Structure 1
Amino acid sequence: MITVSILGNGNVAHHLTTAFLNSEKVVVKQVYARDIDKIDYLKDRVSITNTIELLEEADVYIIAVSDNAIEKVSSKIKTKNGLVVHTSGSFPLHKLNTTNTKGVFYLLQSFSKTKPVNFDEIPFCLEAENEKDLQLLENLANTIGKKVYRINSKQRQHLHVAAVFVNNFVNHLYAIGNDICEAYNVPFEILQPLIKETALKLKELSPKEAQTGPAKRNDTNTIENHLHLLNPKQQEIYQLITKSIQDG
């Protein structure tokens, strides 16, 4: 059995707590939140606290809070043993402010509390200061998931930037597409099969091989027609991405 304590009450903390509580190979010792009322729903299943100094001994302490709070929270963990890890995509391992051994337990996914999570499909990106702790994190990840990767801090920071491009930025483009549809009374759902097909292509092709559209074809007439249909902000984004595609 691996014992864990989880610090945080956000989306990642919520789903990790749920998954580990349902695992037969993990014991959740405690869950911490600064506002204990936000984790009150857990009190019948696990010990909860709003005082970090009262944390009991555990094998792994998982800090699932905002990046700005990680250093402060980690500095308050005063247990004698146990591996202290964070779940951030961009926070360096060495900035964990603890005398305990350090690690990273980063889940490459976007989480919402109300949406169920299939951890079998989520990559676990792990890092630790030594092989023993890295093996512990791999064992812990394998209790709830299947996709486990050893990723160092430099790799993880660049991976996080890549994730912003393929997730956050792409979603913003969906929002622009939705705005255009709404402006002309077209249901956005018409675009959903196209969105799905493009994503599915990437299982067989590289993104460059899957690229289509007027920029790829250098269809200047269509590009000019599109630009006349857009507002200035949309034009700027359209032109920037078009040039990036054409530059290869």
Structure 2
Amino acid sequence: MISVVILGAGNVATHLFKAFTKSDEVQVKTWYNRDIDKLKSYKNDVYITNNLALLKEADIYILAVSDDAISKLSSALPFENKFLVHTSGSVSVHTLDKKNRRGVLYPIQTLSKDAEIDFSNVPLCLETLEKTDLKTLKNLAEAIDSPYYKISTEQRLTLHLVAIFINNFTNQLYRIGHEIADAKHIDFNILKPLILETANKVQNMSPYLAQTGPAIRNDEKTIKKHLKLLENENYKEIYRLLTHSIQQTHGRKKL
């Protein structure tokens, strides 16, 4: 049995708690948050507190808090030589206070609090300063059926950057598309099979080979029609930038 303490009450903390409670091999000893009201709905499921002095003993203490809060909270912990990890994609393991053993448990997945998540589809990036602690994190990942990878701080930061492109930026393009469709009274559901097919294609082929559309075909007439149709100047600039990027990638004539 692996015992854990969770610190934080955001999306990552909430999904980790749910995954841990589904496992017979993990026990959540304490769930801490500065604002305890955010945890009250779980008070019958786990011991909750907003007092760091009341944290119970555990094998792993998980700081699932904002990047800016990691250093201060790790310094405020009232113990030493425990195994402490954060869940950030962009913060160095060395940001954690060195009075404790340090590591990182970074989930590569979009986590919204109200969306159900199967952790077998959540790769975990693991980093520790001590080999024995890496084994502990591997055991924790296996206990919730997550695939895991040993990743350095530099690799993790790069993964975080890539995730911004393929997740956050892509979702913003979905939002823009939704707005444009909605303005013309077009049901966005019509486009959802296209979204799924695009995601499915890159499971079996490279994004380079999966590229389609007027930019790769150098279809200038269609491109000009699209630009004329766009009324928002920011969206026109995004269209031009991405079209230019595709044409550069595939050796097509520039827009």
TM-score range for the pair, normalised by the shorter chain length:
over 0.9
Q: Does the Cα contact within 8 Å between 2:7 and 2:32 map onto a contact in 1?
A: yes
Q: Which moved more, 1:226-235 or 1:164-173?
A: 226-235
Given residue 238 of structure 2, which amino acid in structure 1 is its aligned partner?
I
Match of 1:106, SS state, is strand
Residue 170 of structure 2 is aligned to residue 163 of structure 1: no
Q: Which runs of 4+ in 1 moved over 4 A?
A: none
How far apart, in 1, do the equivalents of 2:234 and 2:201 lie?
A: 30
Q: Does the Cα contact within 8 Å between 2:15 and 2:117 map onto a contact in 1?
A: yes
Q: Which runs of 5+ in 1 are unaligned?
A: none
- Tell me which residue corresponds to 1:218: 218
Residue 251 of structure 2 is aligned to residue 241 of structure 1: no
Q: Does the Cα contact within 8 Å between 1:3 and 1:59 map onto a contact in 2?
A: yes
What TM-score results when the alignment is normalised by the length of structure 1? 0.97
Q: Does the Cα contact within 8 Å between 1:7 and 1:62 map onto a contact in 2?
A: yes
- Tell me which residue corresponds to 1:83: 83
Match of 1:5, SS state, is strand
Residues 168-179 of structure 1 mapped to structure 2, 5 A cutoff: 168-179=168-179
Q: Does the Cα contact within 8 Å between 1:57 and 1:79 map onto a contact in 2?
A: no
- Residue 53 of structure 1 and its aligned partner are, at CA, apart by 2.7
- Tell me which residue corresponds to 2:141: 141
- Residue 22 of structure 1 and its aligned partner are, at CA, apart by 2.4
Per-residue displacement from partner, 1:59-82 (whole Å, max 9, x unpaired)? 100000111111111111222342
- Tell me which residue corresponds to 2:17: 17
- Tell me which residue corresponds to 1:99: 99
How far apart, in 2, do the equivalents of 1:184 and 1:21 lie?
A: 46
- Residue 145 of structure 1 and its aligned partner are, at CA, apart by 2.2
Match of 2:88, SS state, is coil
- Residue 24 of structure 1 and its aligned partner are, at CA, apart by 1.1
- Residue 57 of structure 1 and its aligned partner are, at CA, apart by 2.0
How far apart, in 2, do the equivalents of 1:70 and 1:81 lie?
A: 17
Q: Does the Cα contact within 8 Å between 1:215 and 1:242 map onto a contact in 2?
A: yes
- Residue 95 of structure 1 and its aligned partner are, at CA, apart by 0.7
Report the number of matched residues.
248
Q: Does the Cα contact within 8 Å between 1:57 and 1:82 map onto a contact in 2?
A: no
Q: Does the Cα contact within 8 Å between 1:60 and 1:82 map onto a contact in 2?
A: yes
Residues 60-139 of structure 1 mapped to structure 2, 5 A cutoff: 60-139=60-139
How far apart, in 1, do the equivalents of 2:27 and 2:36 lie?
A: 20
Match of 1:91, SS state, is coil
Q: Does the Cα contact within 8 Å between 2:81 and 2:99 map onto a contact in 1?
A: no
